[in-house]
A and B are shown apart, each in its own frame.
Chain A
């Protein structure tokens, strides 16, 4: 029995999600353990983000069970909970593939909004707060302290009073993670945190995630395409293809799993896996070296901040 099975925070069991006739995920089961980084990988369209949306309550799964266990023994069945209650009570936080910061609010405000529920209680659901009760003042100061802690972790203390939308892309990614951490989660779900990052930013992200794993009692579940991130920091990898789990294990096991290689490269059945393993492993190693080199010399290249505005037509 692997470590993630005995010490798991999140247990996904036989999760199935259908949209009309399309089965996006079928019978998916996996666990994620505390103080571990679990990566969910798979080719485009494999259903990774759908799994996230099910865990965080944005979709209601068609079938299956998603169980979240707290250290005190309480258990939450996430598939039955509303999305905001999952964050509030079950303590699951997430980030988004296309960054969803409050771009017109300052960096500090973003981190304050994340502590909404705690502050809301402290403000006596606004009533005590409006009369300036001292206990609310204390709670707000504590919230600012916590925000400061995370600002330091993500190296953005100097930009605390700037609008979030003004930050470079990589900083926005890390701010979104810090914002999620401000909700005090037990499970942190990161949807492609390294997408669009340059090698230096990617390295910073790795350090941040490793730091979180070291200092906080949180399970990290991440979707990622960047293999340097996945292989570099994960403890446990789950591979999806066409909505089904094809591999589950430590990075080393998964890397050598013929099914994974088949899914990524689309090989014929009879081709020799060993050849391909060599082919796949070499570039990964090369990339790692490249990243290391890049972090040493490459100056930060600022990618203009992109506003996360999905095409919405207000139709909903």
Chain B
């Protein structure tokens, strides 16, 4: 029971990170109907940028609380801006010119862009993993019980608390943004019918650009959390995280932001539970298998709308 509780906490933490990335997939898919294959790599760029800023500022675990908060705020802002610049440029250079081209064109372009990002970071920063010293440590013991095997302690670390709470806050902000503001209305109308949206005076290009920027900001935030939580990053983390987050987006119902979050949580839990109760080596196989199963049997997702085939 304690073991399960601990895994639950770990799973929710991981799921929050996946959920944040998944929102970017789901928003972009919702609006232009394509998988932004490079999105996982934008997440990776976010984490690498955070790593570089941390290194440049010399932020360590020993930094005082006030300075630490300030530093983290700066890191968040920088990483979000840079990742947004990346995703904006990707959309401008690789996707926008292909709108109206044949269906595979943007997809192939996206695959190319994903390779470009990974290789760019690898060439510029070397391929080796980039470790940092733990910056946020400490935590709470929720429960501990002595058994014959020794003591088992259920802990939730401060980092986990930060991840879960900040994800909830961001998620609430984004949901409000999309449901309440003119921007959100523009996004939803583009999602329904891009031509019609343009006809009634919505700047479709701008709306799409903003969608990419928003997705990138969330991915960058997830990248920072990932770096702080695991204490390491490299040029390839975006590949696996990207695929898992995409699975989350589909599982939740593509186009739905709460769905992305829900999907993220489920994927995170499945991965952690699989590692905890079955085999750690096959955790990625489990995630990929889940992806296959979801796409085949539940392509409309948990919170999505079913699509009727038009003849």
What residues make up the interface of A, taking CB atoms closer than 8 Å to B? Answer: 19, 49, 53, 58, 96, 310, 312-316
Given the known A-B contacts A313-B33, A314-B33, are A19 and B308 also in contact in the complex, defined by CB atoms under 8 Å?
yes
Which chain B residue shows the least CB distance to A56?
B311
Chain B residues lying within 8 Å of A49, measured Cβ to Cβ, are 311
Q: Is there a chain A Cβ closer than 8 Å to B307's Cβ?
A: yes
**Are the C-beta atoms of B33 and A96 separated by less than 8 Å?**
no
* Cα–Cα distance between A49 and B311 once the two chains are bound (Å): 9
Q: Is there a chain A Cβ closer than 8 Å to B148's Cβ?
A: no
Kindly provide the distance from the CB of B81 to the nearest chain A CB, expressed in whole angstroms.
Answer: 31
Which chain B residue shows the least CB distance to A53?
B311
Q: Is there a chain A Cβ closer than 8 Å to B128's Cβ?
A: no
Kindly provide the distance from the CB of A215 to the nearest chain B CB, expressed in whole angstroms.
Answer: 29
Chain A residues lying within 8 Å of B254, measured Cβ to Cβ, are 315
15 contacts between A and B (CB under 8 A): A19-B308, A49-B311, A58-B309, A58-B311, A96-B311, A310-B310, A312-B103, A312-B310, A313-B33, A313-B307, A315-B33, A315-B299, A315-B300, A316-B299, A316-B307
Kindly provide the distance from the CB of A235 to the nearest chain B CB, expressed in whole angstroms.
Answer: 27
* Cα–Cα distance between A53 and B300 once the two chains are bound (Å): 23
Chain B residues lying within 8 Å of A312, measured Cβ to Cβ, are 103, 310
Binding site of B, secondary structure by majority: helix, strand, loop or mixed? loop
**Are the C-beta atoms of B307 and A315 separated by less than 8 Å?**
yes
* Cα–Cα distance between A93 and B281 once the two chains are bound (Å): 53
Q: How large is the interface on B (under 10, 10 to 19, 20 to 34, 35 or more residues)?
A: 10 to 19
**Top-7 shortest CB links A-B:** A313-B33, A58-B311, A315-B307, A53-B311, A310-B310, A316-B309, A316-B307
Given contacts A310-B310, A312-B103, 9 further A-B contacts (CB under 8 A): A19-B308, A58-B309, A58-B311, A96-B311, A313-B33, A313-B307, A314-B33, A314-B103, A315-B300
* Cα–Cα distance between A57 and B122 once the two chains are bound (Å): 53
* Cα–Cα distance between A299 and B254 once the two chains are bound (Å): 50
* Cα–Cα distance between A310 and B33 once the two chains are bound (Å): 14
* Cα–Cα distance between A96 and B309 once the two chains are bound (Å): 14
Which B196-243 residues have a C-beta within 8 angstroms of A? none
* Cα–Cα distance between A96 and B310 once the two chains are bound (Å): 11
Which chain B residue shows the least CB distance to A313?
B33
* Cα–Cα distance between A274 and B299 once the two chains are bound (Å): 55
Chain B residues lying within 8 Å of A310, measured Cβ to Cβ, are 310
* Cα–Cα distance between A19 and B103 once the two chains are bound (Å): 29
Chain A residues lying within 8 Å of B311, measured Cβ to Cβ, are 49, 53, 58, 96
Kindly provide the distance from the CB of B308 to the nearest chain A CB, expressed in whole angstroms.
Answer: 7
Kindly provide the distance from the CB of B104 to the nearest chain A CB, expressed in whole angstroms.
Answer: 10
Which B290-309 residues have a C-beta within 8 angstroms of A? 299-300, 307-309
Chain A residues lying within 8 Å of B308, measured Cβ to Cβ, are 19
Which B241-287 residues have a C-beta within 8 angstroms of A? 254
Kindly provide the distance from the CB of B210 to the nearest chain A CB, expressed in whole angstroms.
Answer: 21
Which chain B residue shows the least CB distance to A58?
B311
Interface-centre pick from A313, A315, A316 (highest chain B CB count, 10 A): A315
Which chain B residue shows the least CB distance to A191?
B311
Kindly provide the distance from the CB of A138 to the nearest chain B CB, expressed in whole angstroms.
Answer: 36
| Per-position binary interface string of chain B over residues 94-118, scored 1 when its CB falls under 8 Å from any chain A CB and 0 otherwise | 0000000001000000000000000
* Cα–Cα distance between A39 and B308 once the two chains are bound (Å): 27
Interface-centre pick from A19, A310, A316 (highest chain B CB count, 10 A): A316
Which chain A residue shows the least CB distance to B30?
A313
Chain A residues lying within 8 Å of B300, measured Cβ to Cβ, are 315
Which chain A residue shows the least CB distance to B104?
A314
Which chain A residue shows the least CB distance to B35?
A314
| Per-position binary interface string of chain B over residues 66-80, scored 1 when its CB falls under 8 Å from any chain A CB and 0 otherwise | 000000000000000
* Cα–Cα distance between A316 and B300 once the two chains are bound (Å): 8
Kindly provide the distance from the CB of B26 to the nearest chain A CB, expressed in whole angstroms.
Answer: 13
Chain A residues lying within 8 Å of B310, measured Cβ to Cβ, are 310, 312
Which chain A residue shows the least CB distance to B254?
A315
Kindly provide the distance from the CB of B310 to the nearest chain A CB, expressed in whole angstroms.
Answer: 6
Chain B residues lying within 8 Å of A316, measured Cβ to Cβ, are 299, 307, 309
Kindly provide the distance from the CB of B68 to the nearest chain A CB, expressed in whole angstroms.
Answer: 45
Which chain A residue shows the least CB distance to B33?
A313
* Cα–Cα distance between A313 and B307 once the two chains are bound (Å): 10
Chain B residues lying within 8 Å of A96, measured Cβ to Cβ, are 311
Kindly provide the distance from the CB of A62 to the nearest chain B CB, expressed in whole angstroms.
Answer: 14
| Per-position binary interface string of chain B over residues 14-58, scored 1 when its CB falls under 8 Å from any chain A CB and 0 otherwise | 000000000000000000010000000000000000000000000
Which chain A residue shows the least CB distance to B103?
A314
Kindly provide the distance from the CB of A190 to the nearest chain B CB, expressed in whole angstroms.
Answer: 14
* Cα–Cα distance between A314 and B250 once the two chains are bound (Å): 13
Which chain B residue shows the least CB distance to A52?
B311
